Amino acid sequence: MPAKIPATVVTGFLGAGKTTLIRHMLEHAEGKRIALIINEFGDLGVDGDILKGCGDETCTEDDIMELSNGCICCTVADDFIPTMEKLLDRETPPDHIVIETSGLALPQPLVRAFNWPGISTKVTVDGVVTVVDGRAVTDGRFAHSVEAVDAQRKLDENLDHETPLSELFEDQIACADMIVVNKSDLLEAGQADALRATLKADARAGVQVVTSTMGALPVDVLLGQGVGAEGDLDARHEVHHHHHHDDDHHDHDDHDHAHEHHHAHDHHHHEHGHDEFESFVVERGEIADPAAFAAQVADVIRAHDILRLKGFAAIEGKPMRLTLQAVGPRVDTYFDRPFGTDARTTRLVVIGQAGLDHTAITAALQA
Ligand SMILES: Nc1nc2c(ncn2[C@@H]2O[C@H](COP(=O)(O)OP(=O)(O)OP(=O)(O)O)[C@@H](O)[C@H]2O)c(=O)[nH]1
């Protein structure tokens, strides 16, 4: 059976920077065929037009589809499923699907739609990315223009008009696999760090929180989270209860938040700005115990806030090379092919937000 096509759901309030982030991603897709599904309303197709003008040769009009207005729970069979099927039935299906939500609908029902028969065997939710307006959240407004958000809500009878934005925001955070604190150019020094720490404490354990300006994130960081979000919906409580389908909801239980340790040296490095990402390579010799090494890698990732770590390892006594891929502290390993004539070394690429402690990370991975 062919591998499932990964789909990333991008959510966040009006004006948070979803379109800007997606546009940056399409411009830096490096040959990856990304199809885009946009769910918007009352917006006269503005986002689609912006993206259609993106000028990237790998990004053609055919790769952009629009979902009609309305609540995803009600329109899933007539709209979402046919749109997905059209994409999947193409001669050259996309490598990755990105779905931009309208931002006011809850992300959970959209993720749930991936469990639909016929879809669940072909596509999986790679991850939910929640884009937040760092300035607005720091100011307690949650959106750049609360009036504009309210106007958008009034246009859609399917949306509930009562719930405060703070609660919808909690829903978006509860559903996220990655939170992007955007507009960090509008934050003062220290505010981005403070917001990142707060959101990390509010989000589920292991959720990555990154900062960006103009949604400029490496595609490697944004895509390829490999979460399978449709399979762990129960963990993504809807704080705010949608007016339909109350039977879908689960009681909210307290979960332990993984409070991150903040090391003094982090602050030093963060002075150089929050927006840049960096990567570097660590090499080492053969490894005796692959399971112990995977655990060691997970520890290093946790200690240093590494976003991605991937590469190959040489294992003593094994002719095959071990492929290692980590998203946050989840480390996957498998033997992919014999080294053959290639040098038997271990080579790992480390990716994170600028300010990684190269010396300490290198030492910890070589230990
Ligand atoms: N200063 C600043 N402005 C930004 C940043 N990212 C986006 N913007 C601006 O914020 C506005 C909204 O950005 P969009 O990308 O359209 O936001 P969106 O979330 O797609 O909004 P809708 O599609 O309308 O829901 C635009 O004018 C962007 O140029 C940022 O990092 N810093």
Q: Per residue in 103-132, pLDDT tens? A: 777 788 888 889 988 899 999 999 999 999
- Which pLDDT score is estimated for 263? 38
Q: What is the CATH number of the domain that holds 298?
A: 3.30.1220.10
Residues 282, 231 share a domain: no
* Least confident range of 71-80, 194-203, 267-276: 267-276
Residues 238, 313 share a domain: no
Burial class of residue 314 in the structure, from the number of CB atoms within 10 Å of its CB (0-12 exposed, 13-18 middle, 19+ buried): buried
Using alpha carbons, select from 31, 102, 116 the residue that is nearest to residue 67.
102
- Which pLDDT score is estimated for 11? 92
Ligand 1 binding pocket mutation candidate from 19, 44, 169, 212 (most atoms within 8 A of CB) = 19
Residues 286, 177 share a domain: no
> What secondary structure does DSSP assign to 279-293, as a single string?
EEEEEE--BS-HHHH
> Where a domain ends, among 205, 228, 248?
248
- Which pLDDT score is estimated for 106? 75
* Least confident range of 23-37, 141-155, 173-187: 141-155
Q: Please name the residue whose Cα sits nearest to atom 7 of ligand 1.
A: 17
Q: Summarize pLDDT for 343-363 with one digit per residue, the tens.
A: 999 999 999 998 899 999 999
C-alpha 171 – ligand 1 centre gap (Å) = 21
First to last CA, the chain: 40
Q: Tell me whether residue 260 is in a domain.
A: no
Query: Does residue 319 surpass a pLDDT of 80?
Result: yes
Q: Tell me whether residue 254 is in a domain.
A: no
Query: Does residue 87 surpass a pLDDT of 60?
Result: yes
Residues with CB under 6 A from ligand 1: 12, 14-20, 47, 103, 182-183, 185-186, 213-215
C-alpha 16 – ligand 1 centre gap (Å) = 5
Q: Summarize pLDDT for 236-258 with one digit per residue, the tens.
A: 876 655 544 444 433 333 333 33
Distance of alpha carbon 176 from alpha carbon 179, whole angstroms: 6
Q: Are 130 and 179 in contact (CB under 8 A)?
A: yes
Question: Which band of pLDDT confidence, cut at 50, 70 and 90, is reported for residue 291?
Answer: very high
C-alpha 67 – ligand 1 centre gap (Å) = 21
Q: Tell me whether residue 100 is in a domain.
A: yes
Residues 142, 61 share a domain: yes
Residues 347, 198 share a domain: no
Residues 324, 197 share a domain: no
Q: Tell me whether residue 271 is in a domain.
A: no
Q: Tell me whether residue 170 is in a domain.
A: yes
Residues 169, 26 share a domain: yes
Residues 158, 43 share a domain: yes
Q: Tell me whether residue 52 is in a domain.
A: yes
Q: What is the CATH number of the domain that holds 193?
A: 3.40.50.300
> Where a domain ends, among 248, 265, 291?
248
Domains held by the chain: number? 2
Residues 213, 343 share a domain: no
What range defines the domain where residue 244 resides?
5-248
Residues 357, 236 share a domain: no
184 CA: nearest ligand 1 atom: 31
Torsion of CA 219, 220, 226, 227, to 10 degrees: -70
Residues 56, 159 share a domain: yes
Q: Tell me whether residue 261 is in a domain.
A: no
Label residues 48-87 b or e (16+ Cβ within 10 Å = b).
beebeeeeeeebeeebbbbbebbbbbebbeebbbebbeeb
50 CA: nearest ligand 1 atom: 16
Residues 85, 11 share a domain: yes
C-alpha 183 – ligand 1 centre gap (Å) = 8
C-alpha 347 – ligand 1 centre gap (Å) = 38
Distance of alpha carbon 243 from alpha carbon 39, whole angstroms: 20
C-alpha 217 – ligand 1 centre gap (Å) = 14
Q: Tell me whether residue 259 is in a domain.
A: no
> Where a domain ends, among 248, 265, 295?
248
